[in-house]
Structure formats: C-alpha cells, structure tokens
Amino acid sequence: MLLFGGAILRASFTDLYLRYVKEGLRPFLIAAGLLLVAAAVMTLWYSFRSPEGHDDGHGHEHHEPKVGWLLLLPVLGLLLVAPPALGSYAAEQAGSVVAQPDGNSDYPPLPAGDPADLSLVDYASRALFDAGESMRDRDVRLTGFITTAPDGKPMLARIVLTCCAADGRPIKIGLAGRAPIDVPADTWVEVIGRYTAQTGKDPVNNVDVAYLEVKTWQEITEPKQPYA
C-alpha cells in the first residue's frame, strides 16, 4: 500500500497522471494516494507495536504467503517505467467516436484568430452536421497524432476520454490535400487547412469520418494533455 500510494502521488504531482485519467481527476488521485500512504503507515506502526498479534496463541506465528510479494511488480512498473499514452494502435483497433450535433440549427462562430483552433471532435461535428457552414472561408488548426487508414493513407486522431484511459475512444479525421505522407504513426502534428465536403467511413464501426483539406502541417512534440 505504501508503494502504491507513493506511485499514485508521484504520478499526481507530475503530468504523468494525464496518461491515465482526465485532468479534472487530479484532486481525487491525490486524496486516494494520501489515504493509501496513511493506511500503510498506520498498519506498519501497529505491526511493530504489536508483534504478538501475529501469534496464534500456541506459539506459532502466521506468515503471509510469499506469492503476495508479486503484488509489488505492477507498482514497481508504475514507479520505474511509465507507459505512453494511448496512440495509433488503439485508434486503429477501435471505431471512431460518433460526432454529436450541437443541438441548435446554427453553430457558434469559430474562435478568434487565423487560423482558428478547433478540437477534432468540434471540427467533425461542424463538418458532418453543419456541412461546414460555420467554417466557410476560414482556416482551422487541428492537433493530433498520425494513424493509418485501411487504405494506407494518413489520418489525424486523438483519444477521447470519458473518465480514464480504459474507456478511451478515438476521434479520427481524414486528411486530403497536402497531407503528411510517409510520416510514422504516433507522430504528433499540427495541421492547418479548410473544410472539405469529402467524407469517409470508419471500417471498424462504419461511422462517418470528416475530412480536412490540408494546406500546411508541422511536426510537434506530444502535448502535456494528450487526450481530448
């Protein structure tokens, strides 16, 4: 418990926890880590104060099974080896999330700036359910990692979390125009382009996939918050 609580606190006080859960869950992780550490310290204190508590009354001491030490392996793995955030492999195995309509007949104006920064979910929703009307004659900027479509062409993707990485689902955007060809999967890129009426189908779950007409793109480092 002491090591597990320490591992949770270490992840919570750095950006490491963002590979596992949404940003808003940080206070709960810290609280859980502190409770585990406190419980472990109290257990150790009680054990050292009451060694007779391990005796069965007949002069025989009880010992915990040695296999219990194997529980340390995942904790040590978390402390010593931090797995990467979900990436292209997860995106290729799962179907794209279904972009939801805004609920209004008119989408709000794009954010100020040129290009306008949009999330992949927002772009897909505007492209599929608004026919791009709210993005006419505007350049937009999308950020995600490269994944490979079944036809071998690149797609832009990002993992969407409801709570944690266990329920992560990809949102995928097809890339037309000057798309980043021959870029390795899991490479993070920033693409600038405009709405195109081109659409496709995700073969995993057969949902509609929006496309972006790419004008320029550049490789970037993985953002602090890799999930959408």
**Predicted confidence (pLDDT) per residue in 152-161, tens digit:** 889 999 999 8
Percent of the chain with pLDDT over 70: 86
In the prediction, which pLDDT does 68 show?
A: 64
What's the Cα-to-Cα distance from 22 to each of 85, 86, 164, 179, rounded to whole Å? 12, 13, 6, 30
In the prediction, which pLDDT does 104 show?
A: 55
In the prediction, which pLDDT does 65 show?
A: 62
Return the bridge partners of 217, or none: 191
Report residue 5's pLDDT band, with 50, 70 and 90 as the boundaries. Answer: confident
Identify the CATH number of the domain defined by range 88-219: 2.40.50
Q: Any idea which of 4-18, 42-56, 144-158, 199-213 has the lowest mean pLDDT? A: 42-56
* Every domain of the chain and the residues it spans: 2-80, 88-219
Report residue 22's pLDDT band, with 50, 70 and 90 as the boundaries. Answer: confident
pLDDT tens-digit readout, 44-99: 888 787 655 455 555 555 555 666 677 677 777 666 776 778 889 888 888 888 76
Report residue 187's pLDDT band, with 50, 70 and 90 as the boundaries. Answer: very high
For the cut 70, the answer to whether the pLDDT of residue 201 exceeds it is yes
List of residues 6+ apart from 134 with CB closer than 8 A: 106, 107, 108, 109, 110, 126
Q: Is the pTM of this model over 0.95?
A: no
List of residues 6+ apart from 79 with CB closer than 8 A: 3, 6, 7, 10
Report d(CA 126, CA 123) in Å as an integer. 5
